[in-house]
Structure 1
Amino acid sequence: MAFRDIIAQLRQDITTAEDAGDEQTVARLRRELDEALRHGEEKADQE
């Protein structure tokens, strides 16, 4: 799965969890999204 697809999926999953009122999952997914974005920035800096 491409990086953009992963980011888009995480954002969609966050929205779904928010709509369901699942704050624990929202918090976990936000951490995963932050980590993925940091990783993407690091990779871009290396190129």
Structure 2
Amino acid sequence: MGTRDIIAQLRQDITTASDAGDDRTAQRLRNELAQALEESGDRSADSDAE
């Protein structure tokens, strides 16, 4: 899976976890998303994490 695919999947997973009320998982995924964005050099999408 490419970096953009991973980022898109993380965003979808964050939404799913948040909608299910699973705040712990959503926060873990947000941290993973932040790391993926940092590694990709794409900081422009940070605000889209929720």
**TM-score tier (shorter):** 0.7 to 0.9
Q: How many residues align?
A: 42
Runs of 4 or more, structure 1, over 2 Å off, are none
1:27 Cα deviation after fit: 0.5
1:23 Cα deviation after fit: 0.2
**Identical aligned pairs, as a percentage?**
64
More helix by share: 1
What does residue range 1-47 of structure 1 map to in structure 2 within 5 Å? 1-41=1-41
1:5 Cα deviation after fit: 0.4
Task: Please list every run of 5 or more consecutive structure 2 residues that lacks an aligned counterpart in the other structure.
Answer: 43-50
The TM-score with structure 2 as length reference comes to 0.80
Larger Rg: 1
The TM-score with structure 1 as length reference comes to 0.85
Task: Please list every run of 5 or more consecutive structure 1 residues that lacks an aligned counterpart in the other structure.
Answer: 43-47
